[in-house]
Structure 1
Amino acid sequence: MEVFKRYAPFIQDYIYRSGWQSLRAVQNAAGDAIFNTDGNVLLTASTASGKTEASFFPILSLLDENPSTSVGILYIAPLKALINDQFGRLNDLCEEAGIPVTRWHGDVPQSQKRCLLRKPAGILQITPESLESLMINKHMEIPSLFGDLRFIVIDEIHSLLRADRGGQTFSLIERLCHLAGCNPRRIGLSATIGNPEDVGKFLAAGSGRGTVIPKFDGGKEVWRLSMEHFFNTAPQADEGKSLELDTIEMELATDTAPKAADPGMGYIFEHTRGKKCLVFTNSREECEAVCQNLRQYCETNREPDRFLIHHGNLSTSYRESAEEELKDDNSLMSVCATATLELGIDIGRLERAFQIDAPFTVSGFLQRMGRTGRRGGPSEMWFVMREDHPESRAMLPDMIPWYLIQGIALVQLYIEERFVEPPRTEKLPFSLLYHQTMSTLASGGEMSPGELASRVLPLSVFHRITQDDFRVMLKHLIGIDHVNRTENGGLIVGLTGERIVNNYKFYAVFQENIEYTVHAGSEELGTIVKPPPAGDKIAIAGRVWVVEDVDHKRREIYCTLVKGNIPAYFGDVAGDIHTRILERMYGVLAEENNYPYLMNHAVCRMQDARKTFKKAGMADRPLIHLGGKMWALFPWLGSYAFLALERFLKLRCGQRLVLKGMTPSRPYYLQFTMQASEDEFYQIVAEEVAKDFEPLELVYPKEVPVFEKYDEYVPDELVRKGFALGVLDIEVMKKRVLSWYNQN
Structure 2
Amino acid sequence: MNTYERYASFIREYIYNSGWQMLRGVQNAAADVLFNTDENLLLTASTASGKTEAAFFPILTLIDENPSSSVGVLYIAPLKALINDQFSRLNFICEEANIKVTRWHGDVTQTGKRKLLKKPSGILQITPESLESLMINKHMEISSLFHDLRFIVIDEIHSLLRADRGLQTFCLIERLCKMAGCDPRRVGLSATIGNPKLAGDFLSSGSKRKTLIPKFDRGKETWRLSMEHFFNTEPQAACYEDTARELNTGYAPKGANPGLAYIFEHTKGKKCLVFTNSREECEIVCQQLRQYCEANREPDRFLIHHGNLSASYRESAEEEMKDDDSLISICATATLELGIDIGRLERAFQIDAPFTVSGFLQRLGRTGRRGTPSEMWFVMREDHPEPRAMMPEMIPWYLIQGIALVQLYIEEKFVEPPRLDRLPYSLLYHQTMSTLASMGEMTPAELASRVLTLSAFRRISHDDFRFLLLHLLKTDHINRTENGGLIVGISGERVVNNYKFYAVFQENIEYSVRTESQELGTIVRPPERGGKVAIAGRVWIVEEVDHKRRAIYVSLVKGNIPAYFGDVPGDIHTHVLEKMKDVLSSSDTYMYLMSHGRGRLEQARDCFKKAELSNKPLIHLGGNMWALFPWLGSYAFLALERFLKVHCAKELGLKGLNPSRPYFIQFTMNVGEKEFYKTVSEKAADEIDPMSLVYDKEVPVFEKYDEFVPEELVRKGFAYGVLDIDGMRERVLGWENL
Q: Same fold (TM over 0.5)?
A: yes
The SS at the match of 2:657 is strand
Task: Confirm or deny: 8 A CA contact 1:257 1:266 kept in the other structure.
Answer: no
Partner of 1:451: 446
Question: Aligned in 2, Cα 1:439/1:582: closer, same or farther, shift over 3 Å?
Answer: same
Structure 2 CA distance, aligned partners of 1:315 and 1:257? 38
Structure 1 CA distance, aligned partners of 2:369 and 2:301? 22
Structure 1 CA distance, aligned partners of 2:244 and 2:78? 38
Task: Confirm or deny: 8 A CA contact 1:257 1:270 kept in the other structure.
Answer: no
Partner of 2:177: 177
Partner of 2:190: 190
Question: What do you get for the CA RMSD once the two structures are aligned?
Answer: 1.3
Which amino acid is the alignment partner of residue 385 of structure 2?
A: P
Which amino acid is the alignment partner of residue 723 of structure 2?
A: L
Once the two structures are TM-superposed, the CA of residue 571 in structure 1 deviates from its matched residue by 4.0
Partner of 1:393: 388
The SS at the match of 1:740 is coil
Partner of 1:573: 568
Task: Confirm or deny: 8 A CA contact 1:258 1:270 kept in the other structure.
Answer: no
Task: Confirm or deny: 8 A CA contact 2:570 2:635 kept in the other structure.
Answer: no
Once the two structures are TM-superposed, the CA of residue 258 in structure 1 deviates from its matched residue by 4.6
Indicate the larger mover: 541-550 or 683-692.
541-550
Once the two structures are TM-superposed, the CA of residue 543 in structure 1 deviates from its matched residue by 2.7
The SS at the match of 2:29 is helix
Does 1:199 pair with 2:196?
no
The SS at the match of 2:345 is coil
Structure 1 CA distance, aligned partners of 2:52 and 2:162? 23
Structure 2 CA distance, aligned partners of 1:592 and 1:508? 47
- Residue of 505, 520, 535 corresponding to 1:510: 505
Partner of 1:245: none
Task: Confirm or deny: 8 A CA contact 1:298 1:304 kept in the other structure.
Answer: yes
Which amino acid is the alignment partner of residue 361 of structure 2?
A: L
Once the two structures are TM-superposed, the CA of residue 567 in structure 1 deviates from its matched residue by 2.6
Structure 1 CA distance, aligned partners of 2:288 and 2:222? 32
- Residue of 455, 463, 470 corresponding to 1:468: 463
Task: Confirm or deny: 8 A CA contact 1:291 1:336 kept in the other structure.
Answer: yes
Does 1:501 pair with 2:501?
no
Structure 1 CA distance, aligned partners of 2:614 and 2:557? 34
Percent of residue pairs bearing the same amino acid type: 75
Structure 1 CA distance, aligned partners of 2:222 and 2:246? 22
Task: Confirm or deny: 8 A CA contact 1:257 1:263 kept in the other structure.
Answer: no
The SS at the match of 1:312 is coil
Q: Deviations over 1:227-267 (max 9, x none)?
A: 0001111111113x79xxxxxxxx99996575652110100
Partner of 2:300: 305
Task: Confirm or deny: 8 A CA contact 2:546 2:552 kept in the other structure.
Answer: yes
Structure 1 CA distance, aligned partners of 2:400 and 2:520? 34
Partner of 1:661: 656
Structure 1 CA distance, aligned partners of 2:246 and 2:585? 29
Partner of 1:14: 14
Once the two structures are TM-superposed, the CA of residue 560 in structure 1 deviates from its matched residue by 1.9
Task: Confirm or deny: 8 A CA contact 1:232 1:386 kept in the other structure.
Answer: yes
Once the two structures are TM-superposed, the CA of residue 473 in structure 1 deviates from its matched residue by 0.5
Once the two structures are TM-superposed, the CA of residue 25 in structure 1 deviates from its matched residue by 0.9
Structure 2 CA distance, aligned partners of 1:528 and 1:739? 37
Task: Confirm or deny: 8 A CA contact 2:478 2:488 kept in the other structure.
Answer: yes
Does 1:344 pair with 2:351?
no
Once the two structures are TM-superposed, the CA of residue 739 in structure 1 deviates from its matched residue by 0.4
Q: Deviations over 1:628-687 (max 9, x none)?
A: 000000000000000000000001101111111111000000000000110000011011
Structure 2 CA distance, aligned partners of 1:227 and 1:523? 41
Once the two structures are TM-superposed, the CA of residue 516 in structure 1 deviates from its matched residue by 1.4
Partner of 1:75: 75
Structure 1 CA distance, aligned partners of 2:536 and 2:390? 24
Once the two structures are TM-superposed, the CA of residue 321 in structure 1 deviates from its matched residue by 1.2
Structure 2 CA distance, aligned partners of 1:258 and 1:574? 36
Structure 2 CA distance, aligned partners of 1:660 and 1:435? 40
Q: Deviations over 1:244-292 (max 9, x none)?
A: xxxxxxx999965756521101000000000000000000111001000
Partner of 1:25: 25
Once the two structures are TM-superposed, the CA of residue 494 in structure 1 deviates from its matched residue by 0.1
Question: Aligned in 2, Cα 1:253/1:436: closer, same or farther, shift over 3 Å?
Answer: farther
- Residue of 543, 553, 566 corresponding to 1:548: 543
- Residue of 269, 277, 286 corresponding to 1:274: 269
- Residue of 317, 320, 328 corresponding to 2:323: 328
The SS at the match of 1:609 is helix
Partner of 1:247: none
Structure 2 CA distance, aligned partners of 1:436 and 1:600? 53
Which amino acid is the alignment partner of residue 106 of structure 2?
A: G
Does 1:288 pair with 2:286?
no
Structure 2 CA distance, aligned partners of 1:8 and 1:536? 62
Structure 2 CA distance, aligned partners of 1:149 and 1:252? 59
Which amino acid is the alignment partner of residue 191 of structure 1?
A: A
The SS at the match of 2:735 is helix
Task: Confirm or deny: 8 A CA contact 2:479 2:486 kept in the other structure.
Answer: yes
Once the two structures are TM-superposed, the CA of residue 585 in structure 1 deviates from its matched residue by 0.3
1:359-374 to structure 2, matched below 5 A, reads 359-374=354-369
Partner of 1:133: 133
Question: Aligned in 2, Cα 1:520/1:620: closer, same or farther, shift over 3 Å?
Answer: same
Indicate the larger mover: 540-549 or 332-341.
540-549
Structure 1 CA distance, aligned partners of 2:29 and 2:281? 42
Structure 2 CA distance, aligned partners of 1:620 and 1:254? 41
Which amino acid is the alignment partner of residue 196 of structure 2?
A: P
Which amino acid is the alignment partner of residue 434 of structure 1?
A: Y
Count the aligned residue pairs.
734
The SS at the match of 1:172 is helix
Task: Confirm or deny: 8 A CA contact 1:258 1:267 kept in the other structure.
Answer: no
Once the two structures are TM-superposed, the CA of residue 696 in structure 1 deviates from its matched residue by 0.5
Structure 2 CA distance, aligned partners of 1:276 and 1:410? 25
Which amino acid is the alignment partner of residue 347 of structure 1?
A: I
- Residue of 639, 646, 651 corresponding to 2:646: 651
Partner of 2:610: 615
- Residue of 257, 260, 263 corresponding to 1:265: 260
Question: Aligned in 2, Cα 1:382/1:313: closer, same or farther, shift over 3 Å?
Answer: same
Q: Deviations over 1:146-194 (max 9, x none)?
A: 0000000000000000000000000000000000000000000000011
Structure 1 CA distance, aligned partners of 2:137 and 2:420? 29
Task: Confirm or deny: 8 A CA contact 1:357 1:384 kept in the other structure.
Answer: yes
Once the two structures are TM-superposed, the CA of residue 566 in structure 1 deviates from its matched residue by 2.4
Structure 1 CA distance, aligned partners of 2:441 and 2:257? 61
Task: Confirm or deny: 8 A CA contact 1:623 1:631 kept in the other structure.
Answer: yes
Which amino acid is the alignment partner of residue 467 of structure 2?
A: V
Task: Confirm or deny: 8 A CA contact 1:257 1:267 kept in the other structure.
Answer: no
TM-score under structure 1 length normalisation: 0.97
Once the two structures are TM-superposed, the CA of residue 524 in structure 1 deviates from its matched residue by 2.3
Partner of 1:379: 374
Partner of 2:160: 160
Structure 2 CA distance, aligned partners of 1:252 and 1:117? 61
Which amino acid is the alignment partner of residue 118 of structure 2?
A: R
The SS at the match of 1:741 is coil
The SS at the match of 2:542 is strand
Q: Deviations over 1:189-236 (max 9, x none)?
A: 000011111100000011111001010001000000010001111111
Once the two structures are TM-superposed, the CA of residue 65 in structure 1 deviates from its matched residue by 0.9
Structure 2 CA distance, aligned partners of 1:412 and 1:324? 34
Structure 1 CA distance, aligned partners of 2:550 and 2:260? 35
Partner of 2:708: 713
Structure 1 CA distance, aligned partners of 2:479 and 2:636? 40
Which structure 2 segments of 5+ residues have no match?
none
